Amino acid sequence: MKKPQNFNDTIAKFNQLYITTRRKYIYQDGESYLEANVDKRSGNFKLTDSLIKQHLRGTKTYGVFNANTVNKFITFDIDFSDDMPMARWATGKMVNVLCRDFGIPFGDIHVSYSGNKGYHIDLFLDKPIKLTDAEAFYEKVRNRAELERHQVEFRPTYKQGVKLPLGVHAKTGNRCWFVDRETFEPIESFDYLNDVEPMDHSVIMDALIELTQEQTEDYEAVVRATDTTVNVVTEEKAFGKVREILKAGRLLHSGSRHNTTVLLASFFNTQGYEREDAKMLILDIMDNTPTEFFSKTTTREFIERETERIVNLAYDNDYKLGNSEQRITIYKSEILAVLKVGTFRQKQLAYAMLITSKRYGDVFYLTMKTAMNMIGTSAKQTVDTGIKKLAKVGFIEYVSKGQVDKARSMGAGSLRYKPNRYRLLIEKPQADDCSIEVMTNQTLVDVTELLLDKTELLEYVKRSEFAGRWAKERKAI
């Protein structure tokens, strides 16, 4: 004889994750959902564990409301009438948006079959949040997914309940199993919920932070720099947004931590930055961001973990931002400014900084590892000496230099420094200045050959340097 299913653990999880009031609930009677309310009808019973057991056995079907003004879970109720392929498509899109754009860990997103014509996506929270905040988050996610309210509805409220999973749909007779988030294959087990733990509610709240009028005025110049409501859908917009973020050196608006981290991780990977450099640069931007841009419960440790996770995801999956072979316009006057600095290595470094400023904007980072890779040296001293030389001759200036990274220093137990930020000081090209478009992998030697003839080049380069460097580099090619 088959041993009866023990629902005790699952019932305990229902109580923990779903139920905020037992005095009001819904039950399914054929095609209709009816409301039971102890406060309005004396004959109604509370939603007891015994009723939940009937739900799991499939003899009755129940659902819950929220506790009037707070929610400890959010359900995205996806309904596409009888078009299940569209319902699966919309559900997959919502899961992707929740992960990619709002930082919800994949394992904290729980999808179940509604039993008839759609799916439910549940997010369980470690602390209840206001209904208004839950609804605002729903609106942000739905808008980002570009779906209509009748396609994705918000549940539960105190007036609109939501059917509990794992029961039987009274009209269709289908069991409402949880499903695999990617394949939508049913997970035919009542034990699915037993190991589920609520997610950090601050991830939801991070997306809802709004600045006061005074705070907005303090940073209005930064906010005006970009259209923060536009999704990054084109290469031009993506690169433009990155440039503004790097120029500001901090987040451009509240609730953008996750989006900015994804954007920058993809950008740094595109530009060939080392993984650890990408993490360091992103954390520097987070450290420079006013605390009002984050929720009160967002800790430095949480930001570090999320940065680590997102950068690793971007590098492991080789996420790229737009076209990594983006063409760059170089002007003759800029190359002449490069040629006026010191040694060949220092000229290479100046050219690397010129290229970097073209990628980032006027103010830019250049880490030691990246600079070493760009000029083909393994000697840190060569880069360090070169940067000092470029600052001395007025090719660059330091925007920030030698700042101690307190958080990383405390974690490492020794001094760690934030990456320096620089600005080019060379004159802007004139309208009639000769220019060419080059690929990012073209070298200083390549570009000078295209913009200058040998006679012009020898006005700025000693013959010995020309013979030892330019001629030798061209021969190697």
Report the CATH number at residue 79. 3.90.920.10
Q: Which of 286, 316, 346 is the last residue of a domain?
A: 316
Residue 1, in any domain of the structure: no
- The reply to whether 34 and 151 lie within a common domain is yes
Q: Quick one: DSSP state of residue 469?
A: I
Q: How far is CA 105 from the centre of its chain?
A: 11
pLDDT of residue 138: 94
pLDDT in tens, 454-477: 888 888 888 877 777 776 555 544
* Residue 71 forms part of a structural domain: yes
Residues 456, 337 share a domain: yes
Q: Are residues 230 and 370 in the same domain?
A: no
Asked if 282 and 290 touch (Cβ cutoff 8 Å), the reply is no
| Same domain flag for 396 and 302 | no
Same domain, 168 and 291: no
- Backbone φ and ψ for 180, nearest 5 degrees, come out as -65, 135
Q: Which residue is it, tokens 């709240």?
A: 205
How many structural domains compose the chain? 3
Q: Tokens representing 15?
A: 């109580």
Q: Are residues 42 and 81 in the same domain?
A: yes
Helical ranges in 249-367 per DSSP H: 257-270, 275-287, 300-316, 332-339, 344-360
Whether 295 and 333 share a structural domain = no
Where among 292, 316, 340 does a domain terminate? 316
Do the beta carbons of residue 146 and residue 86 sit within 8 Å? no
Which residues fall within 8 angstroms of residue 405, CB to CB, at 6 or more apart?
283, 284, 287, 416, 417, 418
Query: Where are the strands (E) in 80-117, listed by range?
Result: 110-113
Residue 470: strand, helix, or coil? helix
Please give the Cα distance from 198 to 17 (Å, whole number).
Answer: 7
What pLDDT does 198 receive? 93
Q: Is residue 301 part of a domain?
A: yes
Token representation of residue 56: 């799991």
For residue 105, whether the previous peptide bond is cis, meaning omega lies within 30 degrees of 0, is no
- The answer as to whether 215 is a domain residue is no
Residue-wise pLDDT for 39-91, tens only, equals: 777 667 889 999 999 999 999 999 999 987 889 999 999 988 778 889 999 99
* CB neighbour list of residue 417: distance below 8 Å, 6 or more residues apart: 402, 403, 404, 405
Q: Give the length of the chain.
A: 477
| pLDDT at position 373 | 82
Residue 163 host element (H or E) = strand 162-163
Q: Are 416 and 405 in contact (CB under 8 A)?
A: yes
pLDDT tens digits for range 294-310? 776 678 888 888 899 88
* Partners of 7 in beta bridges: none
Beta strands in 167-276 (DSSP E): 178-179, 186-187
Q: Which amino acid, residue 119?
A: Y
Query: Do 16 and 132 have their domain in common?
Result: yes
Q: Are residues 351 and 285 in the same domain?
A: no
For residue 165, the model assigns a pLDDT of 96
216, part of any domain:
no
* Residue 391 confidence (pLDDT): 92
Check if the beta carbon of residue 296 is closer than 8 Å to that of residue 434.
Answer: no
Residue 213 lies in a domain: no
Query: With a threshold of 0.85, does the pTM exceed it?
Result: no
Torsion of CA 384, 389, 394, 395, to 10 degrees: -60
Q: Can you give the CATH number for the domain in which 347 is found?
A: 1.10.10
Domain match, 335 and 298 both: no
Alpha carbons 435 and 93: distance in angstroms, whole number: 44
Where a domain ends, among 316, 347, 366? 316
Running along the chain, 477 residues long, what does each successive block of 10 average in pLDDT? 73 93 87 83 81 93 89 93 85 90 88 92 92 91 89 93 93 92 92 91 74 44 36 53 81 80 84 85 88 77 87 81 68 93 90 86 80 84 91 90 70 70 90 85 85 86 78 54
What pLDDT is recorded for position 237? Answer: 64
Q: What is the pLDDT of residues 132-150, one digit of tens each?
A: 889 999 999 998 888 888 8
Q: Are 211 and 30 in contact (CB under 8 A)?
A: no
| Residue-wise pLDDT tens digits, 355-381 | 888 877 778 888 788 888 888 888 889
60, 88: one domain: yes
Do 464 and 359 belong together in one domain?
A: yes
d(CA 194, CA 182): 21
Domain hosting residue 137, numbered range? 8-202
